[in-house]
Structure formats: C-alpha cells, structure tokens
Structure 1
Amino acid sequence: MTRGKIIYIDWDGKIFSSVEFNGDMYPDGNADRILEMFEAGLFSNYSNYESFVIRFNKSHYGYEEELIHPLACKEERVIDITENCTDYLYIINNSDCEWIIKDQNGTSFLDKRTLGIVRFQQVERVIYRVLHENAKEFCASISKKEFVEILNQLRDSSDLVGKVNSLFRNSRDNVECDFCNGAALQISHESTVVFLLRKLLKDAVENIDYYIYELDYGRKYEPGMITDENGHDIDFSSAEKLYDYLIGEVK
C-alpha cells in the first residue's frame, strides 16, 4: 500500500502535516487530487488546506483520528527528509520565503508558492503554480438567479428525502424493503447537477460541493470558518453569496 502525507507551510512559516494516508498516495493515484487543487490555487491559506484534508479523508479513507498536527523543524526554513519512511510527501510552500529540503543527495530548494513531491528520502520534483491570464476573460454562462434557484431546489429535494426516510424509519408498520430508499431517487441526479455547475462556474476547488455537503446549503456556516489569504471572512451563508464569490474568483 502506497502511503503519503500532505505537509503545509503557512504564510508565517508554521508547518503542518496530515496523518499518513495509507493507500494509492502516489502522484497518479489518489494524490492527483492534491496536485490538481494546488495548480487551481486552492491552498492559499490554512483554512483551505484544512478543509481539503478533511474532504480528502472523507472521500478516500474515513479515518476518525485527528487529521492534522503541527511539525517542528530543527533548522529554520529547513525540512529534513533524510529519515523519512513515508512513500510520498507532498510539501506545499505557501510562505513568502524559500525553504530548503534536505535529502540524501544534499539540498533542494522549495520556492514560495510551490509544491515539492518527495519519495522516501529524495525530492522527486517541484511543481510551480501557473496563473492563467485568460481566466480573467471568463463570463459566467449562468445567471445569479438561475444558480440560486437550482441550489434551492436541490436543498428542498434533499430536505424532503430526509423527512420521507425519517417517516419510514419511525413507522411501526415499516418492514425492510427497497421502497424505503425510494425517496432517494428524487435526487439521484444531484451529483450530475453539481458537476455541471462546477464546470460552468470554473469551480476547480469545489466550493459548491463544500457549500452543499459540508455546510448543508450554508445552514452550518459560521463567521471565521472560511478566510482568504489575508484572513478576511468569505461568507458562504447563502447561495447568493456563494455565487458572488465564485464570479469574483473567475473575474
């Protein structure tokens, strides 16, 4: 089983590591999502890193232990991997400083806004995030009103399914049968709708999924849960505010 950890260097030089995920953590396996999200600009602050690790674990592993813990370095801005036993380390440098990775061959440099891929005790490659200018030219092909109506319909359908399933579970006369899950058919198209919205709004980091599944259509949102790289709140309390944020991102 290929193991791997996701290591994050924050803007102030603090270092954090995920737990060791066991299984398919090579770059062309489950870890391809890490590379994809890095290139899309997801890891611009610690909150985004934390949210990604939680969702990554939920999608692939389901560990119930604490997922992230701080790391300490013996030397300033130096990560020593000469005794590393994990198959792969994905080291994201979101600080404004160059860091050094000390491996069996000596030292490698990890520039700011880069991701280093380590295999055992050796740096395999470094990835630079490329910003695409043509993203500024994008205009949403779905209006705010249409977007809000779609998400509100998904929310109402999901709520209805929950109520119907609860009725079956609590019924004294209920017997086990396929029909007890029949209500779920009402939203069997949900994943397809979310996928299309994600594509239309260029939502590479899956903010729409986060709003729906983690924040329960914004109902679990609290100030401070999501921040930008300057520490300012990003408000995901409603579909309207989510749309405004997404349009602002692509513009």
Structure 2
Amino acid sequence: MKKQVFIAAITALQKQYDLDSKNAELLSQVFPEADSANTLYPNHFLTNTLMEVIHECMGDTFRDTCGMTWCEYFCFELDFGRKYKPGMVKEKDDTLIDLSTPAKLYDFLITQK
C-alpha cells in the first residue's frame, strides 16, 4: 500500500470516528437517559473491513496480549496518535517507536515487513 493511501485511510477512519463521537454526544444531550456510548452509530461493519484491508496490505499481523494490531493500537488506544507521548511505545529491545502520526505508523510498519 502506498504511503499516501495508508495515510488517507487512517485519516478517514479518524474523521468518521470524530464525527460519530460528536454526534453521539449531541444525541445524549437530546436523550439524557442514554449516555453517548449508547448513541454511537453502528458503522463497525465498514470500520472493521477497512481495518482488515489495512492489516492485509501492510502485513500488520502482530497482536499484543489484548489481541490488538499496531494499527488498532494507534487508532483506538492512542486516539489516532493524539494521546501519544514520546517514549511511551517501545520494542522489546527498548527501541523507541514514534506513533504520533499516520505517516510515522506507516514508516514503522514498513520496517516490520
């Protein structure tokens, strides 16, 4: 997968996630008996499929103890890199991994092939 296509795919996932979260928060204000987690639009079919395509194209087969790939970790645990802090992600040999942007994630994944 070309770098610009990878970045576009991850950015599209982020935009959709942000929009869904914003809409869920607004719906929870209209329906106060429901919290925002219950008002998220169920677009997981598309999100999961796009994530699988990314995994396949990038060879992102590593799974951590929770079963997450690097891409899933970047998107969902690091909130698309927004929660990344320098030094927080390391390889087994203590080599630092910069997962602050989709481009840096791509560069890291290329070294894993």
The TM-score normalised by the length of structure 1 is 0.38
Larger RCO, structures 1/2 (Cα 8 Å, 6+ apart): 2
Q: What letter matches 1:157 in structure 2? A: Q
- Aligned partner of 1:150 in structure 2 is 9
**Post-superposition shift, 1:213?**
1.2
User: What residue number does 2:52 align with?
Assistant: 195
Paired residue for 1:211, among 74, 86, 89?
74
1:48-107 Cα shifts (integer Å, max 9, x gaps):
xxxxxxxxxxxxxxxxxxxxxxxxxxxxxxxxxxxxxxxxxxxxxxxxxxxxxxxxxxxx
Q: Decide whether the 8 Å contact of 1:211 with 1:236 is kept in 2.
A: yes
C-alpha deviation, 1:230, in angstroms: 3.2
Identity among equivalent pairs (%): 29
Match of 2:66 in 1: none
Higher Rg of the two aligned structures: 1
Any stretches of 5+ residues in structure 1 without a counterpart? Answer: 1-141
Instruction: Structure 2: give runs of 5+ residues left out of the alignment.
Output: 63-68
Following the alignment from structure 2 to structure 1, what is the Cα–Cα distance between the partners of residues 50 and 24?
22
Point out the structure with the larger helix share. 2
Q: Deviations over 1:168-189 (max 9, x none)?
A: 1112xx3879xx84x6245541
Show CA shifts across 1:24-58 (max 9, x none): xxxxxxxxxxxxxxxxxxxxxxxxxxxxxxxxxxx
Q: 1:175 to 1:216 in 2, by over 3 A?
A: closer
Q: CA RMSD in A?
A: 2.0
The answer to whether the aligner puts 1:165 opposite 2:33 as a matched pair is no
Q: Structure 1 or 2: larger strand share?
A: 1
Instruction: Output the CA distance in 1 between the equivalents of 2:79 and 2:59.
Output: 21
5 Å-filtered alignment, 1:33-182, equals 142-171=1-30, 174=31, 181=39
SS in 2 for 1:226: coil
